[in-house]
Every structure is written in C-alpha cells, then in structure tokens.
Amino acid sequence: MKPSKTFLVGGGGHGRVVLDAILASGNSIDGILDAQLEQGSRIFGVEVVGGDEFLESVDPKTTRLINGVGSTGNSARRIEIFERFSKRGFKFVGVVHAAASVGKECSVDPSAQIMAGAVLQNRVSVGRNVVVNTRASVDHDVSLADHVTVSPGAIISGGVKLGRGTFVGAGAVIIQGIEVGENCVVGAGAVVRHDVKGDSTVVGNPAAQLE
C-alpha cells in the first residue's frame, strides 16, 4: 500500500490553529484544501492544493484528513465535512497540542483536537470530531459526545455530560454533574446550573433558555 498523505480541510482561523498545533507536534501535512484560498499559496509553509474537489483524485485508503473547519455557535458545517468524507472512506486524524494536559485514563478519539493550554483531568471521554479549544478546562469524569466544541476558556466541571453536536461558548461555566442534551448552544460566559434539554440555547448567569 502507498504511504499515506495528510491534508487539512479548511485554512481559515481554526484551520490555522490546528495546523500550528500539528506542526508544533513535529508532524507534517501534505497540503491544505480550501476553495476560498489561492491555489499555490502557503500557510506556515504548507501549500494550498485546491478545494474539496482535489479529493476526487486521491485514494481514501491512503489519504488522511484533518478537519480545519471551525464552529462559531453552529457546528453544522464542521459536522457535515466530517460525516461526508468519513462515508467516502477517508479517515480523520486530530491532534493533542504539546502544551495541553491530559490526565490518567482519559479516552480521546484519534480525530479529536485538544488545543494549547487545554486541560483534561482524569477519566474524561472525548468523542469523534470534538474540539477542546485554547485554555479550556475539562474536569474529571466528563463525557464529550461526538462533534462537541468547547470554546476557549470554558470550564466544564466534574461529571458533566455534553450531548452530540453541542457547542459551549467562550468563557462559559458548567457546574458539576450537569447533563446537556444534543445540539445545544451554551452562550459565551453563561453559567449552567441545571440540566439542559436537547436542541436548546441557554445564555446568562444563571443560564436560561432563549425562547
């Protein structure tokens, strides 16, 4: 089998953060896929080789992808990219930044992205395509389901469960033992003191559901 190649899908702000983390870990990337960027241009020395159509010319069995699409309160595009290319047979890989801290007996899916300064205490479970962003804090026995995004500076206390596709805004706090359902949005700076049902948006201190 041919040696595998690795491409970053998305070269915007989040993509650059991911690329920086990958390069800082000593790994290499063969190219960036982003139709909004000029083909042949470079980011941190890595060439933009085209848009998503580039993947029509490669073998999924020998090509790995890194999800560089970010989330700004809506993870739909990031999830769509991951699910669409996974169904086509591509494998996504993630990164744990050298400046992140991961405690004992954590389970971190290989596609997850744990950014600089993030802290995962012991026995945290991290699902597919999850982002734990810069300086976020995730305490013991937390469960982050597939496609969860924890934004910079958020604090997730012990025993919390976040459902599939949930987005936690910058600086939000979720106190211990809380369960947040699927596809929720926790607004920036919110303080969540009670369970949150699925498909809800909560904001404020104490966090309350938007009607």
- At 25 the pLDDT is 87
Find the mean pLDDT for residues 88-115. 97
With CA atoms as reference, report the closest residue to 63 among 111, 128, 3, 112.
Answer: 3
Over residues 43-63, mean pLDDT: 94
Residue 69 near residue 9, CB atoms below 8 Å = yes
Location of each CATH 3.40.50.20 domain in the chain: 5-93
**Residue 71 confidence (pLDDT):** 85
% of the chain exceeding 70 in pLDDT: 98
Q: In the predicted model, what is the mean pLDDT of residues 144-169?
A: 98
Confidence check: pLDDT of 3 > 80:
no
Structure tokens at 207: 């966090």
> DSSP letter string over 163-178?
-TT-EE-TT-EE-TT-
Tell me the residue ranges of DSSP E strands in 44-154. 46-50, 63-67, 91-92, 95-96, 101-102, 107-108, 113-114, 119-120, 125-126, 131-132, 137-138, 143-144, 149-150
User: What's residue 2's pLDDT?
Assistant: 62
| Residue among 137, 147, 125 at smallest CA distance from 172 | 137
Q: What average pLDDT does this structure show over 18-26?
A: 93
Q: Is the pLDDT of residue 208 over 70?
A: yes
Predicted TM-score of the model (pTM)? 0.94
Q: How confident is the model at residue 27 (pLDDT cuts 50, 70, 90)?
A: confident
List, edge to edge, every strand of the sheet that includes 143-144: 107-108, 125-126, 143-144, 161-162, 179-180
Q: Is the peptide bond before 206 cis (omega within 30 degrees of 0)?
A: yes
Phi-psi region of 27 (alpha: psi -120 to 50; beta: other; left: phi over 0): beta
Indicate the average pLDDT of the chain: 95
Predicted pLDDT at 13: 95
**Which amino acid appears at position 20 of this protein?**
D
Domain range 97-197, its CATH number among 2.160.10.10, 2.40.50.140, 3.30.2130.10, 2.70.150.10: 2.160.10.10
pLDDT the model gives residue 210 = 85
Q: Which fold has domain 5-93?
A: Rossmann fold (3.40.50)
- Band (pLDDT 50/70/90 cuts) for residue 75 is confident
Check if the beta carbon of residue 42 is closer than 8 Å to that of residue 115: no
Residue whose tokens read 């290319």: 85
- State the Cα–Cα distance between residues 86 and 211, nearest whole angstrom: 35
Residue 151 has pLDDT above 90, yes or no: yes
Whether the pLDDT of residue 14 is over 70: the answer is: yes
Q: What is the mean pLDDT of residues 149-160?
A: 98
